[in-house]
Structure 1
């Protein structure tokens, strides 16, 4: 019993210490990501594929191809989480950050989830609507706008379009949210395997070059 009490006392201290160190591992700047997104939107001339291609090139130029993946079509996969469904491409995944392209032109709605990470959602095409408890009218985000969701908070959202999403915090703790719908709804285990595999490959790859 004493050992259990000791563990319960020590664990919060360890978490607090590690949590304070975590931001030192961040390399992406949300302000810069929004700036690059706006440039890509302007030069993309309304072509979403071109917007994404331009953005990925700018991201690789800014942060290096060792930290930002290219636009490989075979690396896209579905994401079902919180009742919403879309398609996503991992541009970066590490212990402290992920950067993805996510969206759908068909429209989707769901729960954001409650996470140990801050989330920055920059709209590239279409629009997103967000509703927090107590709000009567939604907040609408359009191309170039950035929707910020602090960690520990949750919203309902509707998305019809595409976005660049950055999460900064304890990324492994977010993974169950992205996996659970496979077991309770979709039963798409091939997609789950692809999600786990690509996430794992990216995280290990970043660790090998010293990025947490």
Structure 2
């Protein structure tokens, strides 16, 4: 069974949105619209609910757009900035397509001691088993795409929020959003 989402299509959407020069809610609305046009059977253009997320110390807002056992697409960002650990997913590749702001990152195990910078319209790919330190600058928003055994990402995505921050409501809201996406897929 193949994958349904093409990273090249996501990159094209990110570049188009950046080229339109939008900001704030217009940026998010337009990005969601273009993704829904590219994948009408997978992504709903109706605005979803923002959910607080803290994983690896990175605190931000996430909007779930698509979720399956093998893939997911979310919008993630922060109006104020954040930094932390990307997570190390042994069974999932993570792609980020920046639509606003800036992300600085470095590979944790590399001999290279310099940081890399991701700018709007650019894409980065964290391969399975690798991890990064990251600084997400204020006003940064990106489309994130995960490909692989998606369920293996959930403990990292939820444990920090629940056990460190004791933020039960965000975990509950995330579960509600996941359930909506799964139900939508089952109806098709």
Q: Same fold (TM over 0.5)?
A: yes
TM-score computed with the length of structure 2 as normaliser: 0.91
8 A Cα contact 2:9 2:38, kept in partner: no
Instruction: Pick the aligned partner of 1:110 from 57, 78, 84.
Output: 84
Three-state SS of the structure 1 residue aligned to 2:102 is strand
Give the whole-Å Cα distance in 2 for the aligned partners of 1:78 and 1:179. Answer: 11
Q: 1 or 2, which has the higher helix percentage?
A: 1
Give the whole-Å Cα distance in 1 for the aligned partners of 2:58 and 2:135. Answer: 9
Report the CA distance between 1:70 and its aligned residue.
2.9
2:63 counterpart of 1:84 = no
Give the whole-Å Cα distance in 2 for the aligned partners of 1:183 and 1:28. Answer: 30
Report the CA distance between 1:51 and its aligned residue.
2.2
Give the whole-Å Cα distance in 2 for the aligned partners of 1:57 and 1:72. Answer: 9
Q: 5+ unaligned residues in a row in structure 2: which ranges?
A: none
Counterpart in the other structure of 2:168: 189
Q: 5+ unaligned residues in a row in structure 1: which ranges?
A: 1-20
Write out per-residue CA displacement over residues 9-54 of structure 1, whole angstroms, 9 at most, x where no aligned residue.
xxxxxxxxxxxx5xx1x111111111111111111x2423222222
TM-score computed with the length of structure 1 as normaliser: 0.81
Three-state SS of the structure 1 residue aligned to 2:84 is strand
2:67 counterpart of 1:93 = yes
Give the whole-Å Cα distance in 2 for the aligned partners of 1:96 and 1:181. Answer: 23
Give the whole-Å Cα distance in 2 for the aligned partners of 1:149 and 1:186. Answer: 26
8 A Cα contact 2:52 2:170, kept in partner: yes
8 A Cα contact 2:29 2:47, kept in partner: no
Greater relative contact order (Cα 8 A, min sep 6): structure 1 or 2?
2
8 A Cα contact 1:109 1:157, kept in partner: yes
Larger CA Rg, structure 1 vs 2? 1
Three-state SS of the structure 1 residue aligned to 2:174 is helix
Three-state SS of the structure 2 residue aligned to 1:152 is coil
Three-state SS of the structure 2 residue aligned to 1:106 is coil
Give the whole-Å Cα distance in 1 for the aligned partners of 2:8 and 2:161. Answer: 34
Moved over 6 A (4+): none
